[in-house]
Structure 1
């Protein structure tokens, strides 16, 4: 997209919260072209710093910290009418409450390739037992594992959620020659060469179940104990969506007793306040996460599937554009 810099009187003001240094550089380079004035802080939005938005109708927030309803009320009192979250998901904001008090919440689109690439990497690492292999090699034990890896072309992969990211995962899987099943809560156009099935059928027939659905009341624990119990012996769970899509205690139980072959998780229930923090030398305050990290057949990464330079630029640019478009609509009301 090309943007022509508008006259100064046409500029809108945006307060950007939870902004990392690399994000700040992009915001500051893109804002003049799109016609906005910025106030940037590395602090997550809270009632304590909401006053920073006193001259902004629009704010941009990170997905890394939840936003309380009390904070939303304070923002409304200060005149904020639009929140752009720099994420696809809304699970850190009570969107219904925000809308009930007159604040619109919008998300951003970014390169689906970032998460899709990462998802395929996790699948391959899981079925080739990469974690245990690397651990042994780091200990100078160079013998091969007693159990051989598996090849994607021999497996059936079930893709749950066929939006932009799920569709990009399916595109990549075609190149490996594996069978693909798909399921989505929302009706979507059929995907050529992919069987769309109900969720129970998908979990029963898949060697790998990969999750790309948004988190909502409807999708909470989409992969629950009943469905985990119905998965194929030796199957794998890959989750780059949201942690609460999986009933974590049920997943741990199935891994503990050997019913599942492994898991690769970029998101975990209760990750808030843990992922993105430096906890070296400290006890991890999430027993599920600690248990999963002990297992040789479970890969855990700290919610970074989206973390590419291309996706970051998309996120920052679209967050600014969303605020700019809201301001334009506001001025014409």
Structure 2
């Protein structure tokens, strides 16, 4: 459930409660950046969980913070960065708890929030959503799916001269062995491949998995898949030096955060043919691009444009998490985090 120390964040495990925490007075939540599918879930769950809602499709900002007036808790989307000015405006409106509907919270200055007396909480959702998507990207990469689809869409049905590769013949390095990384490892066992693992924080050993340092992992892996949270410590975890040490023809999969990779170094390695390919659900500088309709417009991120031109690079717009199960978890746990904070607030 939520963390009640104002300097820390929270991680809520997916739950399906039937007995909401007791709250002595009417409880309201302002929900920002509420997409239509989220709105339907919020509205169906709210009566069951004993809350009332104010929803808006607009991302939270300093101009609409007053919408939360009278609410100690708000639920926000991860799709738009939340400025310190917005946090201050929410604080003036009476907000004390911000629940982001995401595992990551690099779009919010958590330390600043704590300094002004606000708590930021994140949620967990089904790790299977991202794990399934990761395996899909992995398989598409080693079978050169993008190039094949491009040819068949152009009605060229000849097989490629290059042969695909089978996962059982490869070594896969998993960077980050939390809930999602562990779910990826579980799936890889079924393919019979060798699995290496690395995590910034020491974790219990995993049966059948060799835990190594990051440099060893990139040197020995045919596929490197990233599942670490983004922080100052993990920024450009896969940097120019480590990309240069990767096996010739290796693949990079990223469903974590774009800035885990030093993008210019990745682009150069791909263009020079030193790497076999990449599959990226997240890209450095994706803000303001992913989730927007930019058809007919120039992409304001040159590195992204270069990546998308390559036949061996798959790019999707930060949607690995987006399943019906994960969305249900996200909405429900965002409400429950707010409920628990409100309950404790009333009993202080």
Relative to the length of structure 1, the TM-score reads 0.98
The alpha-carbon deviation at position 133 of structure 1 amounts to: 0.2
1:111 partnered with 2:109: no
Taking the aligned partners of 1:80 and 1:6, their CA distance within structure 2 comes to 20
SS at match of 2:123: coil
**Alignment partner of 1:318 out of 311, 321, 333:** 333
Cα shift readout 1:174-223 (whole Å, capped 9, x = no counterpart): 00000000000011111111001000000000000000000000000000
Which of 321, 327, 330 is the matching residue for 2:342? 327
1:17 is aligned to 2:44: no
Corresponding residue number in structure 1 for 2:314: 299
Q: Which structure 2 residues correspond to residues 54-73 of structure 1 after superposition, within 5 A? A: 54-73=69-88
| Secondary structure of the structure 2 residue equivalent to 1:311 | helix
The equivalences for 1:264-303 within 5 A come to: 264-303=279-318
Give the Cα separation in 2 of the matches to 1:315 and 1:216: 22
* From 244, 250, 265, the counterpart of 1:229: 244
Q: Scaled by the length of structure 2, what TM-score is found?
A: 0.94
Kindly indicate whether structure 1 or structure 2 has the higher relative contact order, using CA contacts under 8 Å at least 6 residues apart.
2
Whole-angstrom CA distance in 2 between matches of 1:240 and 1:300: 10
Conserved? CA contact 2:141–2:277, under 8 Å:
yes
Q: Is the contact made by 1:190 and 1:196 (CA closer than 8 Å) also made in structure 2?
A: yes
Contact 1:10 1:35 in 2 (8 A): no
Q: What SS class does the counterpart of residue 165 from structure 1 fall into?
A: helix
Q: 1:276 and 1:2 mapped to 2: Cα distance?
A: 31
Runs of 4+ more than 4 Å apart: 5-9
Q: Give the distance between the partners of 2:65 and 2:25, measured in 1 at CA.
A: 24
Of 119, 126, 144, which aligns to 1:129?
144
**Residue segments in structure 2 that go unaligned for 5+ positions in a row:** 1-15
Q: 1:43 corresponds to which residue?
A: 58
1:11 shift after superposition:
3.3
Is residue 5–residue 32 contact of structure 1 (8 Å, CA) maintained in 2? no
**Residue 151 of structure 1 pairs with residue 166 of structure 2:** yes
Which residue number in structure 1 is paired with residue 9 of structure 2?
Answer: none
CA distances 1:20-48 after superposition (whole Å, capped 9, x unpaired):
00100100110111111110000000001
Unaligned stretches of 5+ residues in structure 1: none
Distance 2:28 2:149 in 1: 49
Q: Distance in 2 between matches of 1:51 and 1:26?
A: 24
| Contact 1:86–1:315 (8 Å) recurs in 2 | yes
Q: 2:95 aligns with which of 68, 80, 85?
A: 80
Tell me the distance in 2 between the aligned counterparts of 1:86 and 1:53: 17
Paired residues, number = 333
Aligned to 1:52: 67
